[in-house]
Amino acid sequence: MVGVTKRLPRFFIASVARRYVAGKDIESAVNVMRKLSSEGACFTIDVLGEDILNLDETQSLMDEYDRVLDAIVDNNLDANMSIKPTAFGLLIDEEKAYENIERLLRNAAENDIFVRLDMEDHRVTQPTIDIVLAMHAKGLRNVGTVLQSRLLRTADDIDTICDQLGGAADFRICKGVYLEHESISLTEYSTIVSAMNAHIDQILDRSAYAGVASHDWPVIKHTLSALEARGMGPDNPDPRDGCAENRNGKGLGYEFQMLLGVRGNIRRRLAKEGHRTRIYVPYGERWYEYSMRRLDENPDVAMHIVKSIFMPWTNRR
Ligand code: FDA
């Protein structure tokens, strides 16, 4: 499936990608977000770019993120930002990557905007967590990471981060798109779903913020019951002891997150019930490389896309 998909002409890939990528520039992304605001959604904006070859490339990315910040403020968007640490130089020069990320966080903090560090493959799991802890230690609390439930280490990572950050810990929890080796990762769908549900419970019980990133009904259903069991929900101020107060642009201790173009019907239903729903909005010149890399990392993505084209009822925009 991946092989066939990758041999499709670029114009065809472009027409499919249009559903999942907001365009080449921030103006296109703003237009997409304006339209989707009417569906009760908020956003996280991601500039496509990762696996850079030299540090010069980080500068144009930093400039682009400055434009994103301006666009959020100028257009009064209910949005925060997602970044990939490797695109800021993490695998080339760690010190420089820290400097770049700190600069971005300080600019974002001036406007009370949150920044999420996306989680990439296992080579950068610990370095990414370390960045979040180091930035909090510098007083920059507008940052949180993503953890991947397929990784065997994740329950320990939740505890370590919560031990250090208390109620200021803020997670996006997802299954993890990178297919890692079985020595460090679960590989079966059912065990990954069970692990993700357990991680959601753990995050909620540690009074941390839970960004539940999944389009999978068993995970969403579990989250809804877990919230109800803890007295959390659309109309309830977060009742957990030690939770952070005044999280600008956040929900009542939790939110649901979905990718642009995926399972809009479930997202709209959650929003209608009053839950905070966030759409991940990627944009950028490098949409083609991004799409191809997602296929390489996880062949299921090709399957989802083919299903969306030929069985559109399985994935409503
Ligand atoms: P599952 O894979 O079972 O999908 C359920 C259904 O959703 C599918 O049947 C299909 O209909 C639809 N679907 C899911 N993914 C689709 C896709 N790509 N295209 C079309 N349809 C799709 N991973 C990571 O390693 N690091 C990260 O930082 C992030 N960040 C992130 C942010 C957000 C907002 C989301 C929603 C996801 C991520 N992920 C991620 C990806 C995540 O780890 C996971 O790979 C995908 O969300 C797919 O898992 P689901 O739980 O959605 O279930």
Would you list the domain boundaries of the chain? 1-21+284-317, 22-279
pLDDT at site 248: 83
Between the CA of 214 and the centroid of ligand 1 the distance, in Å, is: 6
pLDDT at site 247: 78
The CB of 276 under 6 Å from ligand 1? The reply is no
Question: pTM for the whole thing?
Answer: 0.94
pLDDT at site 50: 64
pLDDT at site 312: 64
Q: Phi/psi at 267 (nearest 5 deg)?
A: -60, -45
User: If you search the block for the tokens 């909090």, which residue do you land on?
Assistant: 136
Nearest atom (ligand 1) to Cα of 193: 51
Q: 22-279: which CATH topology?
A: TIM Barrel (3.20.20)
Contacts of 290 (CB under 8 A, 6+ apart): 21, 48, 50, 282, 284
Between the CA of 297 and the centroid of ligand 1 the distance, in Å, is: 12
- DSSP per-residue letters across 31-87: HHHHHHHTTTEEEEEEE---S-SSTHHHHHHHHHHHHHHHHHHHTT-SEEEEE-GGG
Amino acid letter, 111: N
The CB of 301 under 6 Å from ligand 1? The reply is yes
pLDDT at site 57: 85
The CB of 178 under 6 Å from ligand 1? The reply is yes
The CB of 264 under 6 Å from ligand 1? The reply is no
The CB of 219 under 6 Å from ligand 1? The reply is yes
The CB of 17 under 6 Å from ligand 1? The reply is no
pLDDT at site 292: 75
Residues of the chain with pLDDT under 50: none
Between the CA of 149 and the centroid of ligand 1 the distance, in Å, is: 12
CA atoms within 13 A on the CB side of 171: 31
Distances (CA, A) of 311 to 15, 261, 306, 316: 17, 14, 8, 10
pLDDT at site 55: 86
Between the CA of 259 and the centroid of ligand 1 the distance, in Å, is: 7
pLDDT at site 246: 72
CA atoms within 13 A on the CB side of 273: 12
Amino acid letter, 155: A
pLDDT at site 311: 64
pLDDT at site 139: 97
Q: Is the dihedral of CA 174, 175, 180, 182 positive or negative?
A: positive
The CB of 150 under 6 Å from ligand 1? The reply is no
